Structure 1
């Protein structure tokens, strides 16, 4: 019979990780919330959730990210740099920032009170040249680090079906950054195996407009309660994973206001 008794070092290791986790979680919670809606969020179907985020509503008490999750996020950021290096090594020209060091991005709907655009986003990069077999150029580049399950699902179904948030994000970037003429490059690395998945994603005007319209409805509200929930039942599985579920379903909610007409911001 195998011995599953923890090693003598296990208690020290657990305590050490807990110490790191506590510091990471405290630092994360101390960060000021965004005062805008990012392009990476506009593929989210629940407009009420986006309203809570935009209006900087405090999350439910037990909804803050744990240290393990924060480290997974960090792994994703690190993977962007690694993949950019891989692309350059393979003969692609990849721009990940402007000459002044800022990321490539866009902003729409300026808000004087907040001192920022109400909707904005920053892409991972733009591929301006490379092997002919993978052109034409220039093309938007978006990179994600995925766990084995998510990576295999994306490989099997494609980014539009498997990762609709990423898909909407890319459509907005293509529209607002003037990169709609050529399909964008989506890459994902399997965090378990190191395998790379790559897909060319054509511009989808309807998807870009739908994401823009969703953003317009969110930033036009005075309170999140004006926006509809994704479901009529609190038991909906999507609500169970929401950081605002307790607040959303425990408080008496006024009737949702009629959504304003869609905005067309130059798509």
Structure 2
């Protein structure tokens, strides 16, 4: 009587902020040994996760691109947005689970850290109770951003707040007023709203804008010097804490 194959492991691999030198040794080892690799991307695009990880993947690796059905085409508050994404995650999870049950390991390279606002979390929650899952943490994009400014983000008892630019303006302003140190992510087309909230919180003149932190094309400047242009997806606003120090 033949035995069923040992179940494979799903690896959520944090790639860090983009610079290959900031990738962990474990992440690189998993990429180099990958037989199956699955990665998120926009339809018709190569995807940032694959761009970072591709130099380390074996030529024999079997690719499974997971293409989002929507990104910005439907507003976040529209019920169709969640419906489309829920169906998408159900479909890719079914495919991954079939591979894992057959005994194959699957590596999912993730921009930044897999457990920090990443798409991998939605797969993890759907599979964690039925298959082995291991997560490799990574340097986050925000730590690369504040390091790029050349100033510490927190001092003494400073409280660091991380906000999403997709939040309503009044919520952003209220949370900003409570923060000692601040990181704002998912800026893009929300930049005007974020600027207004920063002004309302009295933090605009202290804010820095970092684009493509640690990557080729990195820019670091005061937000007030950035003008009115739309910022790219890989942009982070940083306000440094001014707390207790010796």
> TM-score over 0.5 for the alignment?
no
| Larger helix share, 1 or 2 | 1
Bigger Rg over Cα: 1
Task: Name the structure with the higher strand share.
Answer: 2
TM-score of the superposed pair, with normalisation by structure 2 = 0.31
TM-score normalised by length of structure 1: 0.30
